[in-house]
A and B are shown apart, each in its own frame.
Chain A
């Protein structure tokens, strides 16, 4: 079995993996980081979104072996010293979730949107959420939360990436 070394949420892990292990399986089953969800088997829902090398990707459509030597950030890696990341806080404040199933992927995608666009307008946020499905909220409050967080992240000069 190939051995891989991945830095997950700042912690380096070396592990043997079967080549067919998906990144999401590695995170959930081997590292027990169960915040990253699986919502479909067609690569469409985005519940599994994490950051690899600072970019949002679907961990259900990435092999763990492809991430050898990469830096991975999951939803568990966003909060710092018990303080929620501004994006997590904004989702809470603006009711950007109901059942919460899509939320980890949604938040990782949202942080990526702000990383790439700075202060996006509403249309951009809606378009950029193309790869994340939510069955509960109707997206409205998710969009509100992302816009609010983007403003906070700019204004406070917060580090926008968790990486």
Chain B
């Protein structure tokens, strides 16, 4: 790992000011995406700004029909939360399936969403549930937030403070894990709210996306059977040593069926 300067601010304002001071400064949340990258020397921040002691980034709350989760809540905390389990059980299950117990003890929702790894689980839930990503400056719809591989709508100096999820009528998540990395090779999150279904797919392309074919079929009737015979085009899907685009396209429909049965 290359050397860096370490900062431990206690407020969002201080953290943002520190971020603005150097072009190569990065925030540090759970460190479970950033530190492995730094160890491989794939990232070389000049400064790390640890959010560990920053106030106002924690807590889980149900406000009316909106579930709100602080950016620094760990995967283990979210998965164990009764509030989350009752409001959006599919979300609690998704979070409980991220990585392994040790990863879940450190990794955070804010870090995962900000990182926008094309294989990460959280972005699928955010996109399907129409989440709002709240920062120190503004509110960003999930539709606008996830731009491309490891790229988001966040601007320099911007810090995610919380994520808000409208509570859906029904939701389900299913994924096929890459047997080596254990990240999803393909994951599908389905959410039905106010009569319309949104289907978000992770792992299959360079960025999480909504799958029209699955949504059309489930909008007719929300049941696994509605997906019989549905096919998804391979355009834009990844082909690599783990799976070809045609296999990923096939997995999208299979995972959508499983998610629909779970919902």
Contacts and interface: CB of A to CB of B under 8 A. Distances in A.
The reply to whether chain A is a binding partner of chain B is yes
A131 interface: yes
B102 A46 contact: yes
B99 A57 contact: no
Contact of A61 (B2, B4, B6, B31): B31
Interface in B1-59: 1-6, 8, 28, 31-32, 35-36, 38-40, 48, 50, 52
A116 B28 CA distance: 27
A49 B105 CA distance: 12
A66 B50 contact: yes
Contacts of A131: 99-103
B182 interface: yes
B129 interface: no
Residue of B5, B105, B182 with most partner-chain A CB within 10 A:
B105
B102 A109 contact: yes
Interface string B109-143: 00000000000000000000000000000000000
Contacts of A46: 100, 102
B105 A56 contact: yes
The interface size bin for chain B is: 20 to 34
B108 to A, nearest CB: 13
Contacts of A122: none
Contact of A20 (B4, B105, B106): B4
A71 interface: no
B76 interface: yes
Contacts of B36: 42-43, 61
A159 interface: no
Interface residues of A, number: 29
Given A55-B105, A128-B101, A19 B5 contact: yes
A130 interface: yes
A109 B101 CA distance: 9
Given A19-B4, A19-B48, A66-B50, A41 B102 contact: no
Interface string A74-102: 00000000000000000000000000000
Contacts of A42: 36
B3 A18 contact: yes
A105 B222 CA distance: 45
A148 interface: no
Nearest to B36: A43
B105 A57 contact: yes
B6 A130 contact: no
A111 to B, nearest CB: 12
Nearest to B180: A44
Given A41-B40, A66-B31, A130-B182, A57 B102 contact: yes
Contacts of B100: 46, 130-132
A112 B103 CA distance: 13
Interface in A1-40: 2, 18-20, 22
A56 B35 contact: no
Contacts of B102: 46, 49, 56-58, 109, 131
Contacts of B1: 20, 22
B42 to A, nearest CB: 12
A141 interface: no
Nearest to B96: A127
5 contacts: A18-B3, A19-B6, A19-B48, A116-B101, A131-B102
Interface of A: 2, 18-20, 22, 41-43, 46, 49, 55-58, 60-63, 65-66, 68, 109, 112-113, 116, 128, 130-132
Given A18-B3, A61-B32, A131-B103, 6 more contacts: A19-B3, A43-B35, A56-B102, A61-B31, A61-B36, A131-B99
